[in-house]
Structure 1
Amino acid sequence: MARIVVLGALCALTECLEVRTSAPQLLALVDEDALLHCYFTSLAPIRTEDVAVKWSVRRGGTVRSVCTFDGVHIDSLRQESSIDQQLLQIGNASLYLPSLTLEDEGDYTCTVLISPEAGEATLALRLTAQPAIYLLPENPHLSLGEMKTFICKLRHFYPQELDIKWIMKKEKREAVLMKEICTGVPYRGENGTFTADSQVSIVFADEDDGSEILCEVRHQSLPQPLRRGTSIHLTVVQAPSSVAVILSTLVMVMALIFAIALLSWKFLASVPPRVSSLILPEMNMAGEELVAICNLNGFRPRAVDVCWYIGKSGQQQAGSSHCGDDPLLQATDITSYAKHPVSKHGNLFNATSQLSYTPSVQDDGAMLVCVVRHKALSAAARRESHINVAVRPKKSYISSWPPDPRAGDTVTLSCVVERFYPKPIAVTWLRNGQAQSSVTQFGPFSCDNDCYSVWSQIDLPLTEEEDGAVYTCQISHLSLRSVEELSYEINAQGTPPEVQFITADPVTPVIGQEMLLSCRISNFFPREIAVDWSKDGVRLDTGICRSLCVTNTNGVHSMWSSFKFTPAAEDDGSIFTCSVQHAALKNREERTYTLSVAAEKPFK
């Protein structure tokens, strides 16, 4: 059960308005939705038109309004923020913030006014963004003794602090690499997130064949360290053993190779590049940068043209390209998103063309094409690969109807998955681990930004046999690394209330001065509950008031019951009792308070 923290309250003698939130700080991920909880209780009945709510945020030394409600209208100063007017009648003024950005981070204050009383509560919203990690090259084939540089690219993380380790894994043994490592300082992009690169250079020996190079990243947004790895494959040239004839033959072959090389250098100066296949992730998330690489090795002269295109079948080429027109290519030129650094190795040149491109849903299934032109090529070299794009569900949750079911009711559990792509998705239900077949599914149906949503529900009678049963909704989608599970436990017997000790206001009562005795009853289910007050065993019928029940995210309820009176001298030593009766209690729960009054009002 979430611990309730009271962050602000204002109580008067005639009315009592208390405002609170469920926690002092909320940690959320960028691009997800957030619900900033704010609950209030009043001893008077609550009508929506009598309530005014203001949400504001402090960032640095600046305070600005986010969302306000004046009893009639909601004014959302932060786009798409909202307050549910219907929930105000039950003391819920929570703020909904969709699609969080770093601009939303700050200290939020919820102010509630039910004239003439007001109260406020504050919570801190802190944001993180998980890094996207790419390790290049993938599964390289190397020669024995060759030095290779590996690059670990981290994109779109927040905050800046993170830790990167390079590890060589051989069978089950791991060794942290300490030499030839260069990690750049993270730099901040236009959206406020950070980007960083780290690289390591390794010379491989015979025993390194089949090992794995790992890039391990630790960051505040990650529940556990995240790794990317690539396997090493070595080509070992065995030295010939034996006889003079073989040695002579080798000398002759080497002399011949040298002569051919010399002639090639003198008469065939132009050497065409060896163009690799495209290297890119198998699955890419919409809105997240993908990195594609095309390697060009062993060419001469240095001048080379590399162009990148993206498009689907039937799409006309857009814009002009320095690579010239290609009658085989109908696509959009995205060469401006690529870099092609060239390095010299002996008398030949190598180049790595790296494309950094952020795909959208519309790019799913598109063809990514790299076109290379060089003087020594008779025709342009063309490498292509399809790109697959997905969108992770923005929100997944289970809801029940009715929200406060009783024994004998038919309960509908709904598993809602919102805003995902592509359309295929599998939503299944389990009861205590056993698959359920009596399931109704609505969708997937189209929603905003070419995405889809789906709603799966299961109906069940609330019987004693169902008490304690755990229903699990399993969500399987191409964008998820594993099957996502949401669980809901059936509570047919109810949850008994937690009855707190009686508190007095003022703490030291004074004869002739009005005082308030309060008893908090929390975490009970179902909602129906009876609370009585008595004095020296005699039931009290006047001066008693109770707040509305407030429901938290776990489906249990909380409330206050109070007794207001003015003590006289003869009341000294009287015992006041708050008695609670509930369906989940075998016996009444009682809390007592013994009155001890001062003879006169103390000086302040």
Structure 2
Amino acid sequence: MKRGRGLEGGNGRLLTLLVGLGQLLQSAETMEVKMSRQRTAHFGEDVVLQCDIIEHSPSELDIKKMAVVWHQETSGVNGKKELYLFLGGKHTSNRNGSRLDESELEKGNAALFLPQIQAKDEGAYTCSVTVTPDHAEGTTILEVLAEPVVSLTPSKVTVERGTEKTLSCTVDKFYPSSIVIYWQKISKHTQDQSVSAKDICNELPVENGDSTFSVSSKLRLQPSSQDDGNNYSCIVEHRSFPVKAVFSAILTVTDPPVDWKVQALPIVLVFVVLVIIILCGIAYYAYLSKRQPTIVAMVGNTDLKHLEQARLQCLFSGFRPKHLDLAFFLIIHPQNKKQKIFSWNTSALGNVEQGNENVPLLQQQDMFSFYPTLLAKPRRTFDASCQIYILPDVRTVENFELLLEVKHGTLQHTETKSFRVTAPPLLDQIQCATDMPKSDEPLRLSCRIHSYFPQTINVQWYKNDLPLQTKPFVSSSAEGPDGFFSCSSSITYCPEASDIGTRFFCKANLTDSQQCRESVWELKTLVFVPQVSQIQCEPTMPECGKPVTLSCTVEKFFPDECDICWKRDFEELSCAINRTEEQWHDDAESNLYCKKSQIFFTPSAEDHAVNFTAEITHCNTRKRKSYPLMLKGFPKVTDIFLEPIDAEYGNKLSVRCDVADFCPGDINIDWFHDNHLVKNDIITEDPMEDSNGCYKLSSTFQLTPTAFDFNKAISCRVSHEKLRKPIVKEVFLKLPAKSPIVSEIKLKQNSKSISLEISISHFAPQDIRVIWYKDWEKISEEHNPKDIRIIENLCYFVSKIELNQTEEVFKKTIRCEISHPSTQSFKEKSIVLGNRDPGPTSEKNN
């Protein structure tokens, strides 16, 4: 698998083992990780994310025995990724410039240094620390800010009365994109500080190349003489500003120059008025008749994705008069409950000139946002539009309808559209069951699919662009506490040499959806496990004091790194001559390798019956081939045989050991049961001469197993004059574990005390735990009690407690919990102590 190209092979498995061990021993942990809950950084800053390891021992940490992993989790499609890894003194960074200070790490400070913070660095950072056997982790939220650069142009505005001019407020280089810009007017003639919305044009934020944003807002000025000296302010609110940022410009209004043509203006106005009256009379009917709107309602996709914003468009064009009522209703299935979520009346805007006019939102649900606009057209007609933004949440609603009601002087119209909300599946990284795929082992790939809704899903596996013929396993969809479903899929594939570099895909989609999500895994290497021949001995009948050669051939392996080590029992041979040939190609086509190794030594009496092993190490895996060296004239002892093989409690059991090829015939056989010498029930034959001039015999030990013999050792010790030390063969009795039978609680009482007892029988082995409770208060505990007896070859035990007969004892529930680890059995008995008269007992088994 990929891990930022920085962690493969052995390091990955070591990290997994360290973290796994830390989690297995979670109950014994004392180590903790202390981190700040949130950190704020500005663009370009260098940041140190603190991760203090506390409550650890010793005070100075051995960094070569610890692992530190930093993960970053973002809300984007990348999800959670590994950012930095420190493992056994090695650093692996997946973020440019990030680093850990080893000297600080020894003091318990696993802080991560991140230079030149950018927008992509925003997210949740998890610091996971493993100091075997302890493991701890913590999380901090890094919030990235970029303070806006605001400019207001021009800063001083001079406008000639009767003309227009525009103030421009430009906001640049800010992050995140959420920002508020509005205008305010301060006049010496009025207390009204508001600015007409129709004079304001706000653009949408635009993302820059460095992930910051830019936006501008423009204010159109059409001043009169009374506006002279007005102060116009552009007010910017952003998360990086501690307070609102205010940028102001002073307006100076000047009078237009006097023109002689103005003297003729009254005459011209009279003439124009006469012409207008005539034209109005002609155009009266053409401009004042009612006109029905053309309606195009709720254009957009009806298949909505969970928490993915969708947009609908409604258009109402060419209507007259201006008055138009719109109302939107939400109908949720299956309740069919109708709820008004938005309404709008165009007449509330006053006189509308030709151009766009933004309308404030009147009503809003969490899921819906409405943005209506009105446009005045020629001949006193109007166009209206309404953009609907929907942010659906499948946990709230799965199917719903939007009902639009339109009322105008010329018509009443209703239109309904149905919507369906789904959550496409998310796929985790494909996991391979092994870090080292091998040619002789099936390759198992698995992928977790989660966060989808509804429950039905299709899963298909591909090899490059072709679907795999093997039918994948797909588990049943399980519903999580958040209401979403998850499942897992796996497939088994037998790889070949030609599959190196092949990409495997897991693709999933909802049953009735064509949108497919995928996860990919690449087979980068393939290991051919070496085939190891049987060890050959020369001569075939070795003798004490004469040279011996052992040889072993390793063939058909890849890659070529392969080590062969010879061992005597479990110790490396130091007194033997070892000769290992260089590896060679098995054949030109397969590209596989072969290798041969030999050792030369002279055996002594101590080498008899000792296993000589060739240990082959290849790609972090080991294979062993052993050869028991049997010297001529020395006793050869077989393993111990059980008759019958499956031992049972109370049934006779014969334990036999055969000894052959020893000379002279004097020999001593001893049996041990649980490390105690056995003197009875042993049958040992007299030595018999074999055809090769040596002797042989058989020895048998008979016993009847009980629960006390569970997993006990039985050994046979063979002593002979040629042996420097006896040969010992050992076997453990694999008897079945039996869960206990528990009686009801028995009660005996007198004037001063109450005695309670419970019988536990027919269990094996003898490890048992008994705990008594008064309600939820523990009053007695016995673990592996010494007074366990054997009855009918199985264990029997009676647990007793005694309580003082006081008023606070009565009306209490006395419980007895019996647990037997070997059978994972748990049983509970209880009794309610009434007023001098105990209630019935109850039973609970697990």
| The structure with more radius of gyration | 2
Structure with the bigger RCO (C-alpha within 8 Å, sep 6+) is 1
Output the TM-score relative to the length of structure 1. 0.43
Q: TM-score, normalised by structure 2?
A: 0.32
